Chains A and B, each alone.
Chain A
């Protein structure tokens, strides 16, 4: 108890220490929003194991580490930046939570599309930002959301005009530099896909070094009627990092939202993927988490079928080796009015060692009476007969195991239609099995 109290004091005091040097000091509505979030956080602090939603993920290391706020971007090697930027995208690069114009490129952005860093867009796009900020997260907000709202230093604001199709994906690259060690960064992204627009966004997270840093990033998404938005998230941070992420979305009538979530990095990660579904909207959530060593990966999805005829398809796969631990909590709430809802949730886990562990918890709460809802969870090991079969054809035992592991994970990767992203995800997967003798062109 005393530890809790002390560390809350640490993070609460950070909020007050920084309240006067954050972006938007002169914007009164933002200042009061931050004040409210600070007050909220000082009451709740970060969540504890005693809360049902957090019973499998102990974030006390974040409290004990007493991270301090990164106040300026660290220096980066140009080659590192180049390596993490995907070809064929518009790029916004953030280093230690600060937008880096000289590393970013939005050349050729079509008319009707706004892509800016929050820190640069506040005066020009104030109304847009005000309408989106804190508009999709639950109230009362979670501790990490309040913390983020109170302290975010930057992020992206993206708006796609009606009937506009974005020709290339927008990549938001969040890089933690060497200087980010023992520091925390808070970023906030705001995305609005207006009616009948179409766009694709890719968020990627990287660390320059295997350092211990803390990332807290929240993305709020609004998909208007008949718009089609794809959102992808590739988290490949340092194996010592603490990553808290969130994607909070609101789908209006007939909106289409495809979210894919690839987790490879961080010592401890927790990602919230929440959505509220409008009438006849269509939401797909795909996820892959690959844990090794002592990594802890928690993915928490929550879909709120608030209106009739919406369709949701959720498919998460986990590969857990060594002493890693995976958590999947998928919650679907079907409101009384949400008749003809069609919701599917599937979570499959592959345990590669006796010490690996997974906690899978699907939750369906259905208040309507004419719906189709299905969920399934599996936890298994590699198929011994398949291993024998592969070995009997000349694959050595390790290659046979790796082939089957890759095959299991690749199901979530082969469907990525944007080739540079597919290759980037595949590379993260291959990096984790260096002894495999696998070749990506074979997959």
Chain B
């Protein structure tokens, strides 16, 4: 589904990603772990199309298509979804309107009719219930005045309404207490599907207790320094990121 080949990315002349290679198949869950400054967030932003990053080398193929030839919204239409580490507040735009505009944008791309208003609302409400979200959030401005946990839940709500095929979760566990983390993780697990892939970008192993990855990659200094199964995350948790640096040094 996603193929990252020798990806080099710079920000204002400084190289952040120095040759990333990753291959993510349909239905797989990959965790990308790494210390602060390793380039984790840069990777998720570059994949979602945020401005301000220079791709100096390499390419990313999404279902065989060059991702960097696609605009931000074209990526969303094609099924790429980034759950933000810091979801953006959008004053004046209600959550329900936002979800509807987003879903209809995607449906239009897929050649489908707009969803009937009543069907849409009942669909969203049932997904909110799964995420233990109060219905009043529908009519509040997107993320405005939401707590950290509410914002993260709202990201997962969008993800479950838009049903992307590639879900990038950037530090989704940060700012969540244990109850919220479980709810968010259940929300993600409910979306697991043979046709849908996940990339979990995380500093800590904590999230991976609830969302079990198939593969774990360790990112350090802009490169994938180690890949393995879920046991790698446990090893990292035990030995800390210093262990990775030692491995690189040796």
The verdict on A29 contacting chain B, using a C-beta distance below 8 Å, is: no
Chain B residues within 8 Å of A403, by CB: 90, 93, 97-98, 101
Chain A residues within 8 Å of B51, by CB: 384, 388
17 residue pairs from A and B, CB less than 8 Å apart = A384-B51, A385-B88, A386-B88, A389-B87, A389-B88, A390-B102, A392-B48, A392-B49, A393-B76, A393-B98, A395-B102, A403-B90, A403-B101, A404-B90, A407-B90, A407-B141, A411-B92
Chain A residues within 8 Å of B89, by CB: 386
Q: How far is the CA of A443 from the CA of B49 in the complex (A)?
A: 28
Q: How far is the CA of A145 from the CA of B51 in the complex (A)?
A: 53
Q: How far is the CA of A341 from the CA of B87 in the complex (A)?
A: 41
Q: Is the CB of A408 within 8 A of B162?
A: no
The verdict on B71 contacting chain A, using a C-beta distance below 8 Å, is: yes
Q: Is the CB of B49 within 8 A of A395?
A: no
Q: How far is the CA of A376 from the CA of B106 in the complex (A)?
A: 40
Interface 0/1 of A392-419, CB less than 8 Å to B: 1111110110011011101100000000
If A399-B101, A399-B105, A403-B101 touch, does A392 touch B72 (CB 8 Å cutoff)? yes
Q: Is the CB of B72 within 8 A of A391?
A: yes
4 smallest beta-carbon distances between A and B, as pairs? A407-B92, A394-B105, A393-B102, A389-B88
**A residues apposed to B, CB below 8 Å:** 383-386, 388-397, 399-400, 403-404, 406-408, 410-411, 442-443
Residue of A388, A393, A395, A442 contacting most chain B CB atoms (<10 Å) = A393
If A388-B50, A404-B90, A407-B90 touch, does A397 touch B97 (CB 8 Å cutoff)? no
Q: How far is the CA of A404 from the CA of B91 in the complex (A)?
A: 8
Chain B residues within 8 Å of A389, by CB: 84, 87-88, 90
Q: Is the CB of B76 within 8 A of A407?
A: no
The verdict on B158 contacting chain A, using a C-beta distance below 8 Å, is: yes
Q: Is the CB of A390 within 8 A of B90?
A: yes
Task: Other than A384-B51, A389-B84, give 8 A-B pairs with Cβ distance below 8 A.
Answer: A388-B50, A391-B49, A393-B81, A393-B102, A394-B101, A397-B73, A408-B92, A442-B100
Interface 0/1 of B18-54, CB less than 8 Å to A: 0000000000000000000000000000001111000
Q: How far is the CA of A388 from the CA of B88 in the complex (A)?
A: 9
| Residue in A closest to B103 when the chains form the complex, CB atoms | A394
Q: Is the CB of A392 within 8 A of B103?
A: no
Q: Is the CB of A395 within 8 A of B101?
A: yes
**B residues apposed to A, CB below 8 Å:** 48-51, 71-73, 75-77, 81-82, 84, 87-94, 96-98, 100-103, 105-106, 109, 141, 158, 162
Q: Is the CB of A396 within 8 A of B90?
A: no
Chain B residues within 8 Å of A393, by CB: 76, 81, 98, 102, 105, 158, 162
Residue of A388, A399, A408 contacting most chain B CB atoms (<10 Å) = A388
Q: Is the CB of A391 within 8 A of B101?
A: no
Q: How far is the CA of A60 from the CA of B125 in the complex (A)?
A: 58
Instruction: Looking at the assembled complex, report how far the CB atom of A395 sits from the nearest CB atom of chain B, in whole angstroms.
Output: 5
If A388-B50, A442-B97, A442-B100 touch, does A395 touch B105 (CB 8 Å cutoff)? yes
Instruction: Looking at the assembled complex, report how far the CB atom of B102 sits from the nearest CB atom of chain A, in whole angstroms.
Output: 4
Instruction: Looking at the assembled complex, report how far the CB atom of A412 sits from the nearest CB atom of chain B, in whole angstroms.
Output: 10
Chain A residues within 8 Å of B109, by CB: 394
Q: How far is the CA of A141 from the CA of B75 in the complex (A)?
A: 61
Instruction: Looking at the assembled complex, report how far the CB atom of B161 sits from the nearest CB atom of chain A, in whole angstroms.
Output: 10
Chain A residues within 8 Å of B72, by CB: 388, 391-392, 397
Q: Is the CB of A386 within 8 A of B90?
A: yes
Instruction: Looking at the assembled complex, report how far the CB atom of B103 sits from the nearest CB atom of chain A, in whole angstroms.
Output: 7
Q: Is the CB of B73 within 8 A of A396?
A: yes
Chain B residues within 8 Å of A408, by CB: 91-92
Option from A383, A392, A443 in Cβ contact (under 8 Å) with B76: A392
Chain A residues within 8 Å of B96, by CB: 442
Instruction: Looking at the assembled complex, report how far the CB atom of A322 sits from the nearest CB atom of chain B, in whole angstroms.
Output: 22
If A403-B101, A442-B100, A443-B97 touch, does A391 touch B92 (CB 8 Å cutoff)? no
Chain B residues within 8 Å of A396, by CB: 73, 105
Option from A384, A388, A392, A407 in Cβ contact (under 8 Å) with B93: A407
Chain B residues within 8 Å of A385, by CB: 88
Chain A residues within 8 Å of B75, by CB: 392
